[in-house]
Amino acid sequence: MKIFLLFSLLLFISLQGIAQDNIVYDVKFQGQKKNKVSFLKKYVSVRNGDVLDSLQLEKDVILLKRLAGVSNAYYQVFHSQDNLYNVYYNIEENFTLIPNANIWTTTNQQFAYKIGLYDYNFLGRNIAFGGFYQNNGFDSYGINLRAPNLFTRSLGIAINHQNWTSEEPLFFNNGSANYKYSNTSFEVLALFQINFKHSLQFGINIFKEEYNYLSGLTSNAIPQSLALDKQMLKFIYEFNDLDYEYQYVEGIKNTLYLQYVTTENDFQDNFLIGWSDFLYFTRVGEKGNWANRLRFGVASNDDSPFAPFSVDNNLNIRGVGNIIDRGTASLVLNTEYRYTLYEKGWFIVQGNGFIDAGTWRNPGGDFSDFVDSKNFRIYPGVGVRFIHKRIFNAIFRIDYGYGITKNASRGIVFGIGQYF
């Protein structure tokens, strides 16, 4: 009888504990216009009938702020009746239909331009869709669709087609040559969100590369005309623990890229390439943000002018020039301090001071090339950003990099979005 009474008492206490849990009665959204409520309800993790959990609500707010269509978000909880509560997610939306227009001159001083239009929240469902046309003496275009939540909250797809043509240098032991380079590709990727911080992408890219000699050094070992049919298996793993507050970012993100390229020709074997981007951001005071990117990449070490890693203004080192060298491994550190100089309403002016440093392994070389002074580049510099808080990725940047290593150059780099 005592055991029965004790069991009954414990059961009663347990039931009382369950009955006293605060329960989510309904999940609601406020402030959204373009974003579809049906999508947002599927995207957040809190559901009607769940036990009210502030940690889960905080995670959902971080996830919402990662959406292209959301500039900021926060939650509120209101009592409904008994132990039932309504959860409100308040949304500040981004404008996401973004035109793109760039004008520049190529290395041979030819006028070039690029125009495009992308909607980063197509149909209000976090779908990025759009395309571009470019003319730099040659015609190029691309069409891209990325729908990370198309099938379920965690499963989506990306489809990309690109026809790209440009003039690019190939480097030999004692000089370089300029080639007309064309790449026509079709790509399909599966997108899978494992959980709050971890995600995967994997798929295939089928492409054709063509090289046609224009000017510069010639070599009997390298043809003046070459067409290569290739297939690329692609795998991307991402760890994302970043939190955004308008122009400020805090946290860690790491992205691992692996690609295996197969081809049949006498000038390039099948090869594997992989690289990792490690990002670290921290707030400094009220207006400061310290941002860092460490990139390390390795590829099959073929002694070939077609080495996959390039030293370039727009990729890794500001001020160095457009594709000044290539390698089969790279190590690059970008670090910069961003400071908000002016902020009023939607408009922000942000200044930054940076140091970009990198080194490369020569094609067919070894890792001792990393410490060879001929491969080392260090470029400090300063820049400014003009930011619109209510338009997705509306950051116009200007950076000036000044090389301090041997035979270094200097230059201005323009772009849309933060450098990293």
User: What CA–CA distance (Å, rounded) separates 413 from 415?
Assistant: 7
97-416 fold: Porin (2.40.160)
Question: CA triplet 240, 242, 243: central angle to 5 degrees?
Answer: 145
2-93 fold: Ubiquitin-like (UB roll) (3.10.20)
Round the CA-based radius of gyration of the chain to a whole number and report it.
26
Task: Tell me which residue of 333, 197, 314, 189 sits closest to 257, measured CA to CA.
Answer: 189
Task: Tell me which residue of 74, 73, 67, 70 sits closest to 126, measured CA to CA.
Answer: 67
pLDDT of residue 5: 56
Distance from the Cα of residue 124 to its chain's centroid: 21
Concatenated DSSP letters of 393-419: T-EEEEEEEE--STT--EEEEEEES--
**Helix (H/G/I), strand (E/B), else coil: 343:** strand
User: What CA–CA distance (Å, rounded) separates 299 from 276?
Assistant: 12
Beta bridge partners of 87: 27, 77
Domain definitions of the chain by residue range:
2-93, 97-416
Concatenated DSSP letters of 210-227: EEEEEEE--BTTB-SEEE
User: What CA–CA distance (Å, rounded) separates 337 from 249?
Assistant: 12
pLDDT of residue 197: 95
pLDDT of residue 307: 86
- Judge contact between 242 and 196, C-beta under 8 A: no
Whole-prediction pTM value?
0.86
Query: How is residue 293 written in tokens?
Result: 């990117």
pLDDT of residue 107: 55
Q: What is the pLDDT along the chain (420 residues), one digit of tens a residue?
A: 556 555 555 555 555 544 578 999 999 999 999 999 999 999 999 999 999 999 999 999 999 999 999 999 999 999 999 999 999 999 999 999 999 887 776 656 677 889 999 999 999 999 999 999 999 889 999 999 999 999 999 999 999 999 999 888 888 767 788 899 999 999 999 999 999 999 999 999 999 999 999 988 887 777 889 898 999 999 999 999 999 999 999 999 999 999 999 987 776 788 899 999 999 999 999 999 999 999 999 999 988 777 889 998 889 999 998 888 889 999 999 999 999 999 999 999 999 999 999 999 999 899 999 999 889 999 999 999 999 999 999 999 999 999 999 888 998 998 889 999
